[in-house]
Amino acid sequence: MNPEQREQSEREQASRTLPPPPCPEPAPGQVEARRAHFLSEVDRQTRSRSFHPALRARRRWGLALGTAVAAGASLVVFSLGSGSPDTPRTVQPASAASVQLLEKAALAAAATPQTKIRSGQYTYVKVVGHTSVLSETEADEMELLREDEDMEQWTSVDGSERTLQRKNGRNVLLPGTPGRGSLNSPTYTFLDALPTDPEALLKGISDDAEDHHGAGSDSTTGPHQEAFVTIGDLLRSGAAPPDTTAALYRAAALIPGVDVVPDAVDAAGRHGIAVARTHDGERTEWIFDKSTVRLLGERTVLVEDNAWGKAGTVVTSVALIDSGIVDEAGQTN
């Protein structure tokens, strides 16, 4: 099958799998322009280091993992990417099906009414799910355990107040305040200030990923995978402005190696279609509702047997249950 036939097949598959959302289809020229950009991204070897300083030196917010360890045992938290960084020569541009799906998600996000934000408010997010850890037993054997990740979190929109986190019915104020925010700890103000041009947005995220996960670093994740994971974290972090959310989806469509999984299930048991990227035997999936193209959650699935389990094992899974803007910490929608 030649490239043109393959692309047409991908488009037809996407159309069959994903019913049209309540928003217009992306123009053919727009999709083709984005695919043309992929090819230039594949060959691009150097990146300028000029971007917002808040994107420097960070670790992802992610989902705060449990730290309690049984006496005499040690835990190894599952991490995304444990092999060699991917390189531009070995990764294909994003598939046509993933470009189409991400553009539909962007259009749906952009059509969401803008919420007027006031000082003193909070972004609220509720998630359910699990992560996996390896525990060393007293017999010096490794045991795979599953840790609960159900959580509610309230983050000050401008980062001026401490973040409230609720797990297992217990409220905890996280130390310090987020301040203006960063990729590691995004606030609404931080997200609102990000570029809404997809190429500029991806450039900033990629520059940060290159600094910490590129050639010469000790990281085995690789800058492409790190950029994909970072965008997923930002999308799950709460109520981002509609134009920022749309830009994040379009930026993700510019990352090489992105593809579509026709059927995926989130931690709440909801089926959807996923945008995914595979790195070192692990596939990271963002799961969308097939009708509304609303983000349902994210999971990581093994595609090869390894120490974490057999191929097909879901090692992490998080479902986004609720999010929005509330007037005070502890309040729900």
User: Could you read off the pLDDT of 57-94 as tens digits, one per residue?
Assistant: 233 333 333 322 233 333 333 333 334 444 444 668 99
User: For residue 128, what pLDDT is reported?
Assistant: 97
> Can you give the residue ranges of every domain in the chain?
3-70+84-130+148-326
Compare 187 and 53 and report the one with higher pLDDT. 187
Asked if the model's pLDDT at residue 15 lies above 60, the reply is no
pLDDT score recorded for residue 221: 74
Nearest to 55 by CA among 246, 211, 176: 211
Tell me the percentage of the chain whose pLDDT exceeds 70: 70
Confidence of residue 146 (pLDDT cuts 50, 70, 90): confident
- What Å distances lie between residue 44 and 94, 256, 263, CA to CA? 15, 11, 33
Q: How confident is the model at residue 22 (pLDDT cuts 50, 70, 90)?
A: very low
What DSSP element (H or E) covers 303?
none
The beta strands (E) that lie in 122-167 are given as 122-136, 142-148, 151-156, 164-167
For 281, list phi and psi in degrees, rounded to 5: 80, 10
pTM flag (> 0.95): no
pLDDT at 37 over 50: no
Q: Which residue has the tokens 């972090």?
A: 237
**Where does the pLDDT of residue 316 fall: very low under 50, low under 70, confident under 90, or very high at 90 and above?**
very high
Q: Which pLDDT value is given to residue 228?
A: 96
